[in-house]
Structure 1
């Protein structure tokens, strides 16, 4: 294994230029534009090590997004590679329809031990989208069995991102996610984003929180609790720009759901498995006990596709007590409870609990404080975050908080400069998202912030020269 870790990517997949040309001829990338679909090559990454990745030119970059919020314990962890090999040699796959494997049972127990409230059973999926889809299909099944076929509507929020399957994508609240895509709009009711930065100018945080809660309560009354099956919400809206809700907001929403028999689904695909310093953030950070929690990404630190939904014991007991014992939850995936994925997740959980979680809680205040210094730059409207996830939001001016007057690709401009300087960021229109591997050190945080500061400064110079921004 030690020798294997030194093999270069080009030795495994061919020369870099071949990969670029093959991608243009044969690979359809995620989220492509019609004008370039099927004829596009993106930045080629060859290797990873710790918090760093290396691009096709050999440039070493800090992996600012940790892949896609997921490389929590860092790249090139031999412990995880060894587990993948050992499990594949022992049992590479078993059908979940009529057999089972030991790693999935043990992982389900470990997850139940870490989950809040009475969340006790896990259905494993292949990723976050399928986890959210499973939670929603379970809600539908649960209400059908209980004789409430009309209780199926789903409450979601502006700024939300919940997946790319048809039903999970229908919950998404970012306009560009749905501009050209269809969805199950008849099943979804949208609420406002809990983004304090975008609240009305004269409104206090307390008043904004009351507005959000009143809107939720009024929506339930208007639509009818007897028609609403679930509320799905991220504890922190990740792809919406790391929107951290006001204090107490989630607890108050949870109570309204409980009072109206609406299932509360906490989407922890990003916040779970260490991003906020705990295995799950719902209970330990926000003090709520959902009816279901969805997870993915950090459960294996991105080393193997795995996700899942944790389900309340109460919900399962209600099904077992129903008058329809033969009702079939006709839902499953070929790779449900995959033995390799579950084995990797178990070792990943060991790594988290043996020090990574504690390190995250220790370094998070430093990470947030250092990034906050970027608000000194006139292009930056706000730096916000929690744990090891943060967003730098750029605005044309701080008074109006207007982002539309800026070049819509300002995030990409910053990313391009940072790439040249040694940092990969996640650009989101006028925002840059940072969620580095949890093993990052204070010195590496300093490096990351210094590069980001220079990248933003160069972007300001570009915008001024082009007359796009006067700042």
Structure 2
């Protein structure tokens, strides 16, 4: 094994050396532990616009947009300049005792963007800590209200909310529940809401009725007096870009209001332009949540930052009940001034370049090309909304589905397109600046890859 020294790092190690160090010393998220030193992750060297370039100089379309987060694309010089200027001016100050201009301006900006009375912003380090903050806020509020039993959280199968303990506990992706511990006493999961999984012959409208009834039944079984919150992604992104049936969100939100259950909308993926609006909750789905969590597109991935946006109604209940009490939730890097500057510059670019309007303009073509993939026999479903999409392939068993997903992933990569494989699914959330021509290029590659895989399977 090559011995790592400060000098060897400074002398620009080769790609082979970097892979060796990576395998030997770095544990990546979601790494298969039976072979964690036997992999070679793609070594990326640079990026520009919607493209990534690996260490060998090969260029790829970034189909997943990083991790659902690259809104304005890569290589923005003005973003680098804004970050550098803030680093030199004030790189850090304690959020527990101080505030900064970037965090105050950003909080006001987000409050103006958010629907209804969501006027209060708690900054976090990312999406997981934003979700944890929302859930802890519910717990804190009900303790202040003298309702310590009102803590049950209703979540959904296939939903993903993060990797911290509480966020992981309300995540409904069964394959993520392997050997980590998670809380079971405080969480109740509703069955899968994916219309693709509805019984043969059932209409989408009747499926919606059934999914709303799932929530009604859960409330009746558990008791509204014991339920603190319902947490839901507008689109279940990591679960496979699942778009619930029309009307589902509005009807479940109304049920929560009727039974004094906080509605938490997890917009970590759908926020900041992915569906053509700053937030999807009200503009797309017609609801005003009690809290919204966001991250990812907030800075376009240039720096880590998340936020939990809290309604006036919730703040008032926490503030004016019981004896004086501190909101003892926070992080060393809450409201980090450099991250807040990155978010402000990101928002400025989105506004100045009309990126929200651009997303709404190119969405019909993106979704048309996506759904046209249903013409292939191995594609069981093609679904999405905005610049979010997923193809779900079909095979005879789980092992065959894994192999099929891997074959499509490999074929796309060879042709210059990165997709995010999820067993038998491939998901897309490209940078929001993608043009109509680039959308065609992306789906042309995907079509060729699917054709290649179908040919291989037929042999």
Match of 1:399 in 2: none
Alpha carbons of structure 1 residues 51 and 12: separation in structure 2 relative to 1, 3 Å: farther
> Could you list the per-position Cα deviations for residues 406-437 of structure 1 after superposition, in whole angstroms to 9, with x for gaps in the alignment?
34232222111111101000000000001100
Alpha carbons of structure 1 residues 87 and 13: separation in structure 2 relative to 1, 3 Å: farther
Match of 2:334 in 1: 336
Match of 2:446 in 1: 452
Alignment of 1:208-223 (within 5 A): 208-223=207-222
TM-score (structure 1 length as normaliser) = 0.93
Please give the alpha-carbon distance, in whole angstroms, between the structure 1 residues aligned to 2:139 and 2:114. 23
- Report whether the alignment pairs 1:63 with 2:62: yes
Please give the alpha-carbon distance, in whole angstroms, between the structure 2 residues aligned to 1:406 and 1:381. 14
Please give the alpha-carbon distance, in whole angstroms, between the structure 1 residues aligned to 2:233 and 2:125. 19
Please give the alpha-carbon distance, in whole angstroms, between the structure 2 residues aligned to 1:403 and 1:227. 40
Match of 2:369 in 1: 370
Which of these residues, 416, 421, 424, is aligned with residue 422 of structure 1? Answer: 416
Match of 2:226 in 1: 227
Match of 1:285 in 2: 284
How far residue 110 of structure 1 moved from its aligned partner, in angstroms, is 0.6
How far residue 262 of structure 1 moved from its aligned partner, in angstroms, is 0.5
How far residue 462 of structure 1 moved from its aligned partner, in angstroms, is 2.6
- Report whether the alignment pairs 1:274 with 2:273: yes
Match of 1:5 in 2: none
Residues 23 and 40 of structure 1 are in contact (CA less than 8 Å); yes or no, is this contact kept in structure 2? Answer: no
How far residue 63 of structure 1 moved from its aligned partner, in angstroms, is 0.3
- Report whether the alignment pairs 1:345 with 2:343: yes
> Could you list the per-position Cα deviations for residues 370-396 of structure 1 after superposition, in whole angstroms to 9, with x for gaps in the alignment?
121111111111110000000011113
Match of 1:461 in 2: 455
> Could you list the per-position Cα deviations for residues 230-273 of structure 1 after superposition, in whole angstroms to 9, with x for gaps in the alignment?
00000000000100111111000001000111100000000000
Q: Say which SS state the counterpart of residue 186 (structure 1) adopts.
A: coil
Residues 140 and 318 of structure 2 are in contact (CA less than 8 Å); yes or no, is this contact kept in structure 1? Answer: no
Q: Say which SS state the counterpart of residue 121 (structure 2) adopts.
A: strand
> Could you list the per-position Cα deviations for residues 65-97 of structure 1 after superposition, in whole angstroms to 9, with x for gaps in the alignment?
000000110011112111110111111001011
How far residue 13 of structure 1 moved from its aligned partner, in angstroms, is 5.3
Q: Say which SS state the counterpart of residue 230 (structure 1) adopts.
A: strand
- Report whether the alignment pairs 1:327 with 2:325: yes
Please give the alpha-carbon distance, in whole angstroms, between the structure 2 residues aligned to 1:218 and 1:262. 14
How far residue 172 of structure 1 moved from its aligned partner, in angstroms, is 1.2
How far residue 307 of structure 1 moved from its aligned partner, in angstroms, is 0.4
Residues 268 and 280 of structure 1 are in contact (CA less than 8 Å); yes or no, is this contact kept in structure 2? Answer: yes
Q: Would you say how many aligned residue pairs link Structure 1 and Structure 2? A: 450
Unaligned runs of at least 5 residues, structure 1: 1-9, 397-401, 466-471
How far residue 19 of structure 1 moved from its aligned partner, in angstroms, is 1.3
Q: Say which SS state the counterpart of residue 194 (structure 1) adopts.
A: coil
Match of 2:431 in 1: 437
> Could you list the per-position Cα deviations for residues 111-158 of structure 1 after superposition, in whole angstroms to 9, with x for gaps in the alignment?
111101110010000100010001001110011011010010100001
Match of 1:298 in 2: 297
Alpha carbons of structure 1 residues 404 and 21: separation in structure 2 relative to 1, 3 Å: closer
Match of 2:306 in 1: 307
CA RMSD, 1 decimal: 1.4
How far residue 189 of structure 1 moved from its aligned partner, in angstroms, is 0.1
Residues 394 and 403 of structure 1 are in contact (CA less than 8 Å); yes or no, is this contact kept in structure 2? Answer: no
Residues 23 and 39 of structure 1 are in contact (CA less than 8 Å); yes or no, is this contact kept in structure 2? Answer: no
Residues 29 and 40 of structure 1 are in contact (CA less than 8 Å); yes or no, is this contact kept in structure 2? Answer: no
Alignment of 1:152-301 (within 5 A): 152-301=151-300
> Could you list the per-position Cα deviations for residues 318-359 of structure 1 after superposition, in whole angstroms to 9, with x for gaps in the alignment?
2222122x2222111000000001111011011112211111
Match of 2:5 in 1: none
Match of 2:52 in 1: 53
Residues 23 and 36 of structure 2 are in contact (CA less than 8 Å); yes or no, is this contact kept in structure 1? Answer: no
Q: Say which SS state the counterpart of residue 35 (structure 1) adopts.
A: helix
Alpha carbons of structure 1 residues 21 and 242: separation in structure 2 relative to 1, 3 Å: same
Please give the alpha-carbon distance, in whole angstroms, between the structure 2 residues aligned to 1:165 and 1:39. 27
How far residue 193 of structure 1 moved from its aligned partner, in angstroms, is 2.1
Please give the alpha-carbon distance, in whole angstroms, between the structure 2 residues aligned to 1:145 and 1:204. 44
